[in-house]
């Protein structure tokens, strides 16, 4: 899944540029997002674990954020404290996912967001339902270039149905006027804005539009992410955020039951893209 890969790359750059004069945090230290601008909400009750947006591994609140199922340590009035491998994080209440709907419509072939266990050493993944049983959902997914299948508890699974919801793909217009891929977190400071993650960084953007992950056939006209821009190319003397631009493409071949595709871009170049990088044409600004 490219979200995990991109997040890992950002983590490496964050670690490389970290201030080594600061002491390493203890596992019980709570790292807070001091520059969080809101909205501030009451913290919902969560027992044991919760889907949240959080730094993972040794990331911080500006680098290496992702969607994850996290172990809950304690609840504060406006934050949920979760345990990471190296420290704890205070998650703003607005960045906590709603409870999984036990009546969500999930069937064979549905694309879903899921995580097997509560840990911040991994993040959520996108997969496709292969089998529905009474107490488990068998999900096929790509990881590290291989296709895997796992049986997952239904309360660890969220259906991706093309609606604006926590963890769902969206498009928004970047500062250069081009549509880019993001992942929806929550409403922003007013009705026209929302928080999204884009390549591991949080942004409050204007009017994000939902994208739908769906099965495509050969020849389908799509919008796709073909690359992640580098953060190492300075613009006006500053390091720009990495971006995943949405560009027109055509499905050349369907692979792994719709988990991956070969997609041709406007220049005729063909590359293999994950299902969470390929969307219906016209779904973005």
Least confident piece of the model among 7-11, 50-54, 203-207, 239-243: 7-11
Q: How high is the pLDDT of residue 241?
A: 85
pTM exceeding 0.95: no
Whether the per-residue pLDDT at 48 is higher than 50: the answer is yes
Q: How high is the pLDDT of residue 233?
A: 65
Whether the per-residue pLDDT at 166 is higher than 50: the answer is yes
- Determine the length of the chain: 285
Whether the per-residue pLDDT at 107 is higher than 90: the answer is yes
> For 129-161, how does the pLDDT look when each residue is reduced to its tens digit (9 = 90+)?
999 998 999 999 998 889 999 999 999 999 999
What are the boundaries of each domain within the chain? 1-209
Q: How far apart are CA 283 and CA 241, in angstroms?
A: 23
Q: How high is the pLDDT of residue 231?
A: 65
Task: Report the Cα 168 to chain-centroid distance in Å.
Answer: 7
Cβ atoms of 113 and 3 within 8 Å: the answer is no
């Amino acid at each position: 899944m490219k979200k995990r890969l991109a997040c890992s790359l950002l983590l490496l750059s964050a670690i490389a540029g970290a201030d080594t004069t600061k002491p390493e945090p203890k596992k019980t230290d709570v790292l807070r997002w001091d520059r969080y601008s809101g909205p501030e909400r009451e913290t919902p009750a969560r027992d044991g674990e919760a889907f949240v947006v959080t730094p993972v591994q040794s990331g911080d609140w500006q680098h290496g954020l992702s969607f994850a199922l996290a172990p809950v340590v304690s609840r504060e009035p406006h934050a949920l404290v979760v345990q990471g491998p190296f420290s704890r994080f205070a998650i703003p209440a607005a960045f906590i996912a709603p409870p999984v709907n036990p009546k969500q419509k999930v069937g064979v072939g549905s694309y879903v967001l899921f995580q097997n266990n509560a840990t911040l050493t991994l993040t959520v993944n996108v997969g496709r339902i292969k089998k529905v049983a009474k107490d488990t959902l068998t999900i096929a997914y790509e990881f590290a270039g291989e296709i895997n299948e796992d049986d997952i508890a239904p309360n660890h699974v969220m259906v991706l149905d093309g609606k604006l919801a926590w963890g769902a793909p969206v498009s928004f217009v970047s500062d250069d006027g081009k549509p880019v891929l993001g992942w929806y977190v929550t409403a922003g400071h007013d009705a026209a804005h929302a928080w999204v993650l884009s390549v591991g960084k949080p942004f409050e953007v204007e009017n994000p539009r939902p994208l739908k992950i769906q099965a495509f056939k050969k020849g389908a006209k799509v919008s796709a992410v073909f690359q992640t821009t580098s953060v190492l190319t300075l613009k006006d003397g500053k390091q720009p955020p990495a971006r995943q631009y949405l560009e027109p493409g055509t499905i050349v071949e369907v692979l792994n039951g719709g988990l991956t595709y070969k997609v041709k871009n406007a220049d005729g170049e063909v590359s293999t893209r994950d299902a969470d990088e390929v969307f219906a044409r016209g779904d973005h600004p």
